[in-house]
Amino acid sequence: MTEAAGEMQKKEAETPETGERTRASRIYAPQVDIIERKDDIVIIADMPGVDEKSVDITLEKNVLTIYGRVDAYAPENHRNFLSEYGIGDYQRVFTLSDEVDRDKIQATVKNGVLKLVMPKAETIKTRKIPIKAEGIGGVLNYS
């Protein structure tokens, strides 16, 4: 048992969406990793119970919202005996910086893990400003 996996509890999303919910379930904030790579930024989110059909990703201006719907599971003719975790939808909101190329965001879901690959915009990738050394002569003239 490692420390990382030692104590984990689902956290409820801090800011539920605006307005009231019509579904009677809780909303949890998925745990995420955000990795910056050379050409893109990757968001990986743990959303157990979600597949590619039940996840919605919306981008409005620079606000990226991940929403995953989870259907409560309960076997028939059984009574609940132990409940260590709650079941509910997932939501998390991110504010993107300008460096992401919005049209090329790709999302995949596998085994309850959402992976968003957001390529960096071309302009950002090449925005390296070369610094030239000024000619010594010019400097001397003014001193």
Which spans of this chain sit near other proteins (rule: CB under 8 A)? 1-10, 31-38, 41, 44, 46-51, 73-75, 77-87, 110-113
Residue with tokens 């460096």: 99
β-partners of residue 116 are 43, 107
Q: Which is nearer to other proteins, 51 or 101 (CB)?
A: 51
Distance in Å, CB of 85 to other proteins, minimum: 4
Distance in Å, CB of 109 to other proteins, minimum: 8
Residue 104 DSSP SS3: helix
Q: Which is nearer to other proteins, 18 or 83 (CB)?
A: 83
Residue 73, both tokens: 């599971």
Q: Which is nearer to other proteins, 111 or 143 (CB)?
A: 111
Distance in Å, CB of 112 to other proteins, minimum: 2
Nearest CA to 45 among 30, 56, 59, 60? 30
Residue with tokens 């302009």: 123
